[in-house]
Chain A
Amino acid sequence: ETGVTQSPTHLIKTRGQQVTLRCSSQSGHNTVSWYQQALGQGPQFIFQYYREEENGRGNFPPRFSGLQFPNYSSELNVNALELDDSALYLCASQTGRSVDEQYFGPGTRLTVT
């Protein structure tokens, strides 16, 4: 077990809706990253938060946004859902920003119809 949890496990939404995915990191892990894994691909980096500030962003549009809270939980919000947003969303936490293992949650499977 990695100590990182995500909710919900599965989610079905309709195109145009908004969704919030949640992640709970290990205590003391100040950095959280979010990834999108589409079928047949490796996880793609969405963004990273360090001490509640965005610390880097991948090639994803602004309708993907995030929040990190002092209690080591975080959220990924996606507005105006598109069919291509259907994927597995993973969060990963680590203690800091240096070379360090990232501890992954089991993911949330989002289906957009």
Chain B
Amino acid sequence: ILNVEQSPQSLHVQEGDSTNFTCSFPSSNFYALHWYRWETAKSPEALFVMTLNGDEKKKGRISATLNTKEGYSYLYIKGSQPEDSATYLCAYDNYGQNFVFGPGTRLSVLP
């Protein structure tokens, strides 16, 4: 059974703070890892698809890194804004057949 973990479970930061959270996944037979941003009552929004060890991707103030050998990915948010408040999900891509999701990190950015 594939196990994907995320930490912390929830996080409260002040506006302007930078923050990061972790996704851990099985390191053997790695295929791809996806990050999603999910606001309440909306569809999960794809942030990054990461496939190569050492990958670093960036979208505005959000960036992600990937270490497939040790089985973790970090998501960083620089200068958090209230609109960044959401649940951030990582999903281990099981060879395109299905995604195994972590439980998510719920981020609250306080103005």
- Per the 8 Å Cβ criterion, residues 76-105 of A in contact with B are 90, 92, 96-105
Q: How far is the CA of A44 from the CA of B3 in the complex (A)?
A: 11
Please tell me if the beta carbons of B101 and A106 are within 8 angstroms of each other in the complex: no
Specify which chain B residues have a CB less than 8 angstroms from the CB of A48 in the assembled complex: 97-98
Please tell me if the beta carbons of B43 and A4 are within 8 angstroms of each other in the complex: yes
Q: Is B55 an interface residue (CB 8 A)?
A: no
Which of A41, A44, A103, A107 is the one whose CB lies under 8 Å from B46? A103
Specify which chain B residues have a CB less than 8 angstroms from the CB of A4 in the assembled complex: 43
Specify which chain B residues have a CB less than 8 angstroms from the CB of A42 in the assembled complex: 4, 6, 89, 91, 101-104
Q: How far is the CA of A97 from the CA of B95 in the complex (A)?
A: 8
Q: Which residue of chain A has its CB nearest to the CB of B93?
A: A99
Specify which chain B residues have a CB less than 8 angstroms from the CB of A103 in the assembled complex: 43, 46
- Per the 8 Å Cβ criterion, residues 1-23 of A in contact with B are 1-2, 4
Specify which chain A residues have a CB less than 8 angstroms from the CB of B111 in the assembled complex: none
B interface bracket (residues with beta carbon within 8 Å of A): 20 to 34
Q: Which residue of chain A has its CB nearest to the CB of B4?
A: A42
Q: Which residue of chain A has its CB nearest to the CB of B100?
A: A45
Specify which chain B residues have a CB less than 8 angstroms from the CB of A58 in the assembled complex: 98
- Per the 8 Å Cβ criterion, residues 71-102 of B in contact with A are 89, 91, 93, 96-102
Q: Which residue of chain A has its CB nearest to the CB of B51?
A: A99
Which of A55, A99, A106 is the one whose CB lies under 8 Å from B31? A99
Please tell me if the beta carbons of B98 and A56 are within 8 angstroms of each other in the complex: yes
Please tell me if the beta carbons of A97 and B100 are within 8 angstroms of each other in the complex: no
Contact status of A45 and B102, CB under 8 A, knowing A99-B32, A101-B34:
no
Q: Please report A residues at the B interface, Cβ cutoff 8 Å.
A: 1-2, 4, 33, 35, 40-45, 48, 55-56, 58, 90, 92, 96-107
Q: List 23 A-B contacts (CB under 8 A).
A: A1-B43, A2-B45, A33-B98, A33-B99, A35-B99, A42-B4, A42-B6, A42-B102, A42-B103, A42-B104, A44-B101, A45-B99, A48-B97, A92-B99, A101-B49, A102-B34, A102-B91, A103-B43, A104-B36, A104-B43, A105-B43, A106-B42, A106-B43
